[in-house]
């Protein structure tokens, strides 16, 4: 059972109540916010319900480490630094990312870590439509090209 990266690409204006609650459960309420969820049937059900608003893809260890290092926050303003990681017994974000990929740790295990990452709009813009699904030439839904897009958003 792996991890999935979920990115919200739309706001919540004129959104059905069921979709809004699914986005809240996924913890991607704001535009360009990302989170990490497990690849299990309950998460896939939430993703299927909100497929017109989010994009998701399998997550690799390098991308998770760079997300934790550059966009991980412990509070509103304080970034995730080495002190919090040393308290938990980790040498750096790479070790934390590898433990998370193996399923030994979760984001909630790091005390005070916010369960989402606020991203910027992608440098160079979106190359395809943000209103269509990936199979139709867009970016929404299950998107294998999402990791390279997120690297431009970090």
Strand pairing category for 138-142 and 54-58? parallel
Residue whose pair of structure tokens reads 């958003």 in the numeric block: 153
Residues 55 and 82 in one domain: no
Domain count, the chain: 2
34-75 per-position pLDDT tens digit:
999 999 999 999 999 999 999 999 999 999 999 999 999 988
Q: Which domain holds residue 108?
A: 61-113
Backbone angles phi, psi at 59, to 5 degrees: -105, 140
User: Model pTM?
Assistant: 0.92
Residues 50 and 75 in one domain: no
114-153 per-position pLDDT tens digit:
999 999 999 999 999 999 999 999 999 999 999 999 999 9
């Amino acid at each position: 059972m792996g991890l999935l990266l979920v990115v919200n690409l739309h706001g919540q204006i004129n959104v059905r109540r069921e979709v809004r609650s699914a986005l809240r459960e996924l913890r991607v309420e704001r535009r360009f916010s990302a989170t990490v969820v497990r690849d299990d049937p309950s998460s896939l059900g939430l993703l299927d319900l909100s497929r017109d608003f989010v994009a998701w893809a399998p997550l690799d260890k390098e991308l998770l480490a760079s997300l934790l290092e550059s966009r991980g926050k412990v509070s509103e303003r304080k970034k995730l630094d080495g002190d919090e990681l040393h308290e938990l017994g980790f040498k750096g974000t790479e070790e934390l990312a590898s433990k998370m990929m193996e399923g030994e740790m979760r984001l909630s295990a790091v005390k005070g870590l916010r369960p989402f990452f606020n991203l910027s709009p992608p440098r160079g813009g979106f190359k395809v439509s943000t209103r269509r699904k990936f199979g139709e030439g867009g970016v929404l839904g299950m998107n294998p090209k999402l990791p390279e897009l997120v690297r431009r958003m970090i």
